[in-house]
Amino acid sequence: MSLRLGDIAPDFTQESTEGPINFHEWAGDSWVILFSHPKDFTPVCTTELGEVSRLKPEFDKRNVKAIGLSVDPVDEHVAWAGDIQETQGHGLNFPLLADSDRKVSDLYDMIHPNASDSLTVRSVFIIDPNKKIRLTITYPASTGRNFPEILRVIDSLQLTDDYKVATPVNWTDGGDCIIVPSVSNEQAAEMFPQGWEEKKPYLRMVKQPNKT
C-alpha cells in the first residue's frame, strides 16, 4: 500500500511499551509524528529516540504526540529503553510500537524489499488532527533524522493551515512568509493590514501573521 499526502493515516491496534494502542483513538485531536526503526539496539535510532524524548516539551507546545515503531517485541523495547536512558540522558517518554507481526509496517509501506525484506526502513509520517498524512520522509539507515527540521515543518503546516500564506526556503518560526497567489491584492489588504513587500506580482512577502 502506497500512502500519499492527504490520505487518511490507516488505523490499527497494536501492542506498545505503554500497552495496546488503538491509533486513531490514541491520536485524538493531536498532531502525530509516527516514525519507524529497523530494529532494537541500533546505534543511530538509539540517538533519535533519546532526542525525541528530550524534545517532548517542544512537541507538547505544538499539540504533537510522538510514537515510534520497531519490529521487535515489547520486552526488547523495554530493555532498549534502559540503554537509551543510559547513553542519551533522556528516558523513553512516548510509546514504542511492537510490530513483530509487521501489521503496521505493511499498512504504512515501511518494508522496502530493495533495502531489506524484513526490516522497516526509517520512515517519518506527520499526521494532522483530521488523521490526514501531511508529510512523509524516508531516511537511509546511516543518516540520523533531523528533528529540528520536523519541528520546522510542523510549525509551517500549523501556520499555513490558519492563514493564507506559504513559507519560503529555509523559513523558521518568526520569519517572513509568502501571501499565496490565490489571494488577490484586495483580499490581502484585508487579511494583512500591516502591508507587504511585492517583489513580483506572484511573490509578496509579509510578516508572519501570528507574530504581528
Structure confidence at residue 109 (pLDDT) = 86
**Catalytically annotated residue among 21, 27, 34, 45:** 45
Identify the pLDDT of residue 121. Answer: 67
Judge whether 177 counts as a catalytic residue.
no
pLDDT for 38 equals 80
pLDDT band at 194 (very low <50, low <70, confident <90, very high): very high
Domains and CATH numbers, the chain: 13-145 (3.40.30.10), 163-211 (3.30.1020.10)
Instruction: Give the whole-angstrom CA distance, residue 185 versus residue 108.
Output: 42
List, in sequence order, every residue forming a beta bridge with 35; answer none if it has no partner: 68, 124
Q: What gap in Å lies between CA 96 and CA 35, rounded to an integer?
A: 9
Decide: 89 and 50 in contact? Cβ < 8 Å. Answer: yes
Write the secondary structure of the chain as one string of H (helix), E (strand) and C (coil).
CCCCCCCECCCCEECECCCCEEHHHHHCCCEEEEEEECCCCCHHHHHHHHHHHHCHHHHHHCCEEEEEEECCCHHHHHHHHHHHHHHHCCCCCCCEEECCCCHHHHHCCCECCCCCCCCECEEEEEECCCCEEEEEEEECCCCCCCHHHHHHHHHHHHHHHHCCEECCCCCCCCCCEEECCCCCHHHHHHHCCCCCEEEECCEEEECCHHHC
Tens-place pLDDT, residues 63-82 = 999 999 998 899 999 999 99
Residue 68 contacts residue 52 (beta carbons within 8 Å): yes
pLDDT in tens, 101-121: 889 988 998 875 554 544 556
The residue-averaged pLDDT of 97-103 equals 91
pLDDT at 39: 83
Q: How far is CA 89 from CA 16, 34, 53, 140, 194, in A?
A: 22, 22, 9, 25, 45
Residue identified by cell 529540528 is 148
The reported pTM is: 0.92
Q: Which has the minimum average pLDDT: 41-45, 47-51, 148-152, 174-178? A: 41-45
Give 175-186 pLDDT, tens digit per residue.
999 999 999 999
